[in-house]
Structure 1
C-alpha cells in the first residue's frame, strides 16, 4: 500500500530531525565533548527543537550509535544473503562498511554514554552476522585462517581514521588502503595495483596547522 504523504508540520519535523542527526554526527565525530548547542548551530535550528526530540545529549548519542549499528547490520545482512562468490561477498561487505564510515562513531563515542539493552541487542546481531560472513570465507578457503571477525572491527576503526584533505581525497585514500588490506587478507594472495595516488608529503603538514 502506498504511504500517505506527511502533513506539512510532520514533514518539517522529519527534515529537522534529519538535519539534526547529520549535524550531530559531524559535530560529535570531530569533538565528542562538544555541547549540544553546537549541534543546533550547525543544523540551523533552535535549541528547543533538539530538546523536543532528544531529552539530553546522551539520548542523541544513543540515537547516533543505534543508527550506525543499524547501517552496519544492513550491510552485513546483504552480504549474508548474497549469492556472490565468498570472496566477492566478503570484499563487498568490507568496502561497504568503510564507505558507510560507521566506525567513526565507535572511535568518537565509545564510553560517552550508557548503552541501552536495545544497543546491546544490535551489537549482538552485528557479531552474529560478521561471524557468518567470516565463517563462509574461511570455509571457502579465501580468507586467512588466522583472521577473525573481531579483527575486522579494529581494521574498520583504523580505516575510519584516514582523513586527509576534503571528502574526495579521503574517499580516494580509503579506497587505496581498503585494497591493500583486502590483498593482505585474501588467500591465496592475489595482489593487484593499488587505486589512487599515495599520500603526498604536503598532505601531512596540515595536521600541524593550529586550528582557530
Structure 2
C-alpha cells in the first residue's frame, strides 16, 4: 500500500521543476534578445541554475530556441482567441493588438528567425496564428473601421515595430509601446491618402526563417 506521505515530495519536485523551467525561459528570452548567438551557458548563468539542470530540460540550444518560439506563438494565438467573442470587429482587432504588444510576443521574432530549424508543429501553429489574424482583419474591415488597403501581412510588421521600442525601465517600455500602438491604430482608420507601394505579400518574409549558418 502506498505511503500517503510519498505524494507531497513528488508534487514539490514537480513544482520546483516548473519554477526552474519558468526561470530558464525568462533568462533565455533576456539573453537571446541581447545576443541570439549567446551560448546556453549564458542562459544557465543568468537563470542561476547549473548547466546540467538546463540540459535536463532542453537537450540543445535549438530545443530551447524552439520552445521560446512555440511559447510566443501560443501567447499570440491565445490573444486572438480571447477576443473571439467580442461582437465589435474593430474592438476585437484593437484588443488583440494590445494584448500581443503587452505580452511582448514579437521581440524575439527577428532575433530568432533563421537561428534554428522549425518543426512541423511550429509550422502548424504559425498557420493557425495567420488564420486568426486574417479573421480579425476581415472583421475589422467589415465593421467599417479598418482602412481597406490594410492586409493581414501588415499586422506582423506593425507588431514588430512596437516590439522594437525598448528602454531600460519595463513599465516605461510598456507605456511607449502602447502610445505607439495608439498612433498606429489611428492611422489604420484613416482613409486618405492611400498607403504607398504594394502591400506585403503572403510569405514575403518567410526567407528570414531559413536556417543561417
What TM-score does the superposition give when structure 2 sets the normalisation length? 0.83
Preserved contact between residue 162 and residue 177 of structure 2 (Cα < 8 Å): yes
The answer to whether structure 1 residue 170 and structure 2 residue 173 are counterparts is: yes
1:77-101 residue CA offsets vs partner (Å, 9 max, x unmatched): 122x223311111111111111111
Query: 1:165 & 1:61 partners in 2: Cα distance?
Result: 24
Q: Per the alignment, in what secondary structure is the counterpart of residue 7 of structure 1?
A: helix
Aligned residue in 2 for 1:142: 145
Moved over 3 A (4+): none
Shift of 1:139: 1.4
Pair 1:109-2:112 in alignment: yes
The CA distance in 2 between the partners of 1:84 and 1:34, in whole Å, is 45
1:164 Cα offset (Å):
2.1
Shift of residue 137, structure 1, vs aligned partner: 1.0
If asked which structure has higher relative contact order (CA below 8 Å, sep 6+), I would say 2
CA contact (8 A) 1:141 1:187 kept: no
- Kindly state the Cα deviation for residue 188 of structure 1 after the two structures are TM-superposed: 6.2
> Aligned match of 1:55 in 56, 59, 84?
59
Alignment partner of 2:93 out of 79, 83, 90: 90
Alignment of 1:1-212 (within 5 A): 7-79=11-83, 81-187=84-190
Question: Which is worse superposed, 179-188 or 121-130?
Answer: 179-188
In structure 1, what is the Cα distance between the partners aligned to 2:57 and 2:74?
A: 20
Gap regions ≥5 residues in structure 2 = 1-6, 193-213
RMSD over equivalenced CA pairs, Å = 1.6
Please list every run of 5 or more consecutive structure 1 residues that lacks an aligned counterpart in the other structure.
190-212
- CA distance in 1 between counterparts of 2:30 and 2:88 reads 36
Q: CA deviation at 1:116?
A: 0.3
**TM-score for the superposition, normalised by structure 1:** 0.83
Query: Is 1:19–1:43's contact at 8 Å kept on the other side of the alignment?
Result: yes
